[in-house]
């Protein structure tokens, strides 16, 4: 990816809708938060209408990933001091609108509106898709791209979901030790992809599924929080420095928080299935996939020898395909009898961050204010 971790983030507006709830024959006003809508924030949306800001930004990230381009390839002044996100339409932006319209028509006319064709279907990381297969792809080493939804492996070839989770829990220290870990805080460093410097980071976690990550970057804080109900992202060097998550992206933020207390991971998804075994970074792994419906799909790679989780990939739906996030877990060490990763890589459509932990404090008081909507500095 050519672009820096911050990506393109736009300002959001939080509105409130009034409602009425009958109670005992009387009506009391009730306020319901309205999602940040991209149509209210951006003044030049012509095709991608009706999206929340977070889904819109995920869509922008998918454009970048599918075509291997950065913000400035379509937006005037992106990366400079005076970006014109809405005012000017470069030819590339006009072509992108035509491509989205074409893609939607293909899916509507051929797949009943299902999202079978996306930008990635044709582009595969190239600004100009190739129509001729290179012979190296036939006679060279195969490059396998797994499908989003993995095929179910025959039961006689793989362990059950329960067996994989049982080994995972035991590898982490056992259910009793995991249940006794109620909170933890960490001091770490974060290294952005393509950067040479490291930034200090803080992580706060509280059972059963509260999580906050704050990185003190030179340009301002990067933050992700989940307070048990709402999830927020804050990024520096952007037009809008914060946005709330909704739908599958909100479920993804909730899943990230659950991973801090993995004893409850098995119950996170309603359905699980085991895929075919494979290899990951030279290690034999079992692969299981979970879903709660169309909004979020998650795939987990467990070391067949140790039982440890090596990778979690989750994908939330968007207007032009699934928005991926990948976390690789490295260097597990014991903390209060529980094995926790002291390194992990967090990759998403706006960049990748490599975290290295210096210190973890288990079962210490953590104020609830750490997990609520971050303050933009």
CATH number of 161-370: 2.50.20.10
Which residues have a Cβ under 8 Å from the Cβ of 360 and sit 6 or more positions away? Answer: 184, 185, 186, 335, 340, 342
Domain range 15-131, CATH class: mainly alpha
The confidence band for 322, taking pLDDT boundaries of 50, 70 and 90, is very high
d(CA 233, CA 122) in angstroms, rounded, equals 30
pLDDT average, residue stretch 308-325: 94
pLDDT of residue 79: 63
Neighbours of 104 (CB within 10 A): 16
Mean pLDDT of the chain: 86
Q: What are the structure tokens assigned to 298, written together?
A: 């998650």
Say which residue, 59 or 216, is predicted with more confidence. Answer: 216
Question: What is the Rg, in whole angstroms, of the alpha carbon atoms belonging to the chain?
Answer: 22
Q: Is 16 exposed, middle or buried (0-12, 13-18, 19+ CB in 10 A)?
A: exposed
> Taking 80 as the threshold, does the pLDDT of residue 125 lie above it?
yes
d(CA 8, CA 4) in angstroms, rounded, equals 10
pLDDT of residue 292: 86
256-259 contact pairs (CB < 8 A, 24+) = 256/211, 256/224, 256/226, 256/325, 256/327, 257/205, 257/209, 257/210, 257/211, 257/226, 258/208, 258/209, 259/312, 259/327
pTM: predicted TM-score of the whole model, two decimal places: 0.86
Whether the Cβ atoms of residue 334 and residue 311 lie closer than 8 Å to each other: no
The predicted-structure confidence for 70-119, as pLDDT tens digits, reads as follows 877 787 766 665 666 666 678 888 899 999 999 999 999 999 998 899 99
The predicted-structure confidence for 189-240, as pLDDT tens digits, reads as follows 999 887 889 999 999 999 999 999 999 998 889 999 999 999 999 988 666 6
Whether the Cβ atoms of residue 137 and residue 130 lie closer than 8 Å to each other: no
Neighbours of 83 (CB within 10 A): 18
Say which residue, 211 or 60, is predicted with more confidence. Answer: 211
**Three-point CA angle 29, 233, 242, nearest 5°:** 70
Domain boundaries, the chain: 15-131, 161-370
Which residues have a Cβ under 8 Å from the Cβ of 23 and sit 6 or more positions away? Answer: none
pLDDT of residue 265: 97
Whether the Cβ atoms of residue 289 and residue 275 lie closer than 8 Å to each other: yes
d(CA 216, CA 123) in angstroms, rounded, equals 35
Using alpha carbons, list the distances in angstroms from residue 192 to 59, 197, 212, 234.
Answer: 22, 8, 18, 15
pLDDT average, residue stretch 36-53: 87
Instruction: Single out the residue of 170, 344, 171 nearest to residue 260, CA to CA.
Output: 344
């Amino acid at each position: 990816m050519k672009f820096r971790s911050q990506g393109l983030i736009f300002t959001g507006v939080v509105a409130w809708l009034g409602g009425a709830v009958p109670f005992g024959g009387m009506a009391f006003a009730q306020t319901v938060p309205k999602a940040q809508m991209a149509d209210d924030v951006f003044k030049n949306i012509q095709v991608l209408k009706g999206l929340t800001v977070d889904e819109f930004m995920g869509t922008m990230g998918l454009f970048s990933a599918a075509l291997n381009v950065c913000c400035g390839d379509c937006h005037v002044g992106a990366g400079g001091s005076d970006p014109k996100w809405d005012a000017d339409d470069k030819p590339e932006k006009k072509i992108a609108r035509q491509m989205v319209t074409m893609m939607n028509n293909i899916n509507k006319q051929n797949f009943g509106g299902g999202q079978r064709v996306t930008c990635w279907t044709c582009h595969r990381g190239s600004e100009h898709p190739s129509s001729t297969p290179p012979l190296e792809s036939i006679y060279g080493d195969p490059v396998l791209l797994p499908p989003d939804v993995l095929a179910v492996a025959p039961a006689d070839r793989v362990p059950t979901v329960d067996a994989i989770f049982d080994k995972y829990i035991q590898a982490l220290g056992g259910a009793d030790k995991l249940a006794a870990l109620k909170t933890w805080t960490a001091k770490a460093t974060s290294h952005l992809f393509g950067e040479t410097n490291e930034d200090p980071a803080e992580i706060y976690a509280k059972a059963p599924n509260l999580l906050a990550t704050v990185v003190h970057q030179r340009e301002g804080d990067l933050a992700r929080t989940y307070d048990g109900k709402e999830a927020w992202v804050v990024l520096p060097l952007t037009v809008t420095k914060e946005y709330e998550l909704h739908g599958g992206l909100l479920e993804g933020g909730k899943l990230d928080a659950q991973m801090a207390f993995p004893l409850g991971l098995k119950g996170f998804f309603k359905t699980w299935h085991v895929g075919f075994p494979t290899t990951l970074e030279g290690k034999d792994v079992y692969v299981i996939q979970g879903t709660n419906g169309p909004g979020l799909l998650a795939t987990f790679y467990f070391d067949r020898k140790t039982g440890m989780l090596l990778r979690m990939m989750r994908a939330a739906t968007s207007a032009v395909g699934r928005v991926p996030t990948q976390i690789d877990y490295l260097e597990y060490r014991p903390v209060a009898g529980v094995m926790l990763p002291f390194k992990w890589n967090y990759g998403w459509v706006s960049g990748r961050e490599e975290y290295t932990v210096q210190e973890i404090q288990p079962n210490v008081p953590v104020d609830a204010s750490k997990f609520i909507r971050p303050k933009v500095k």
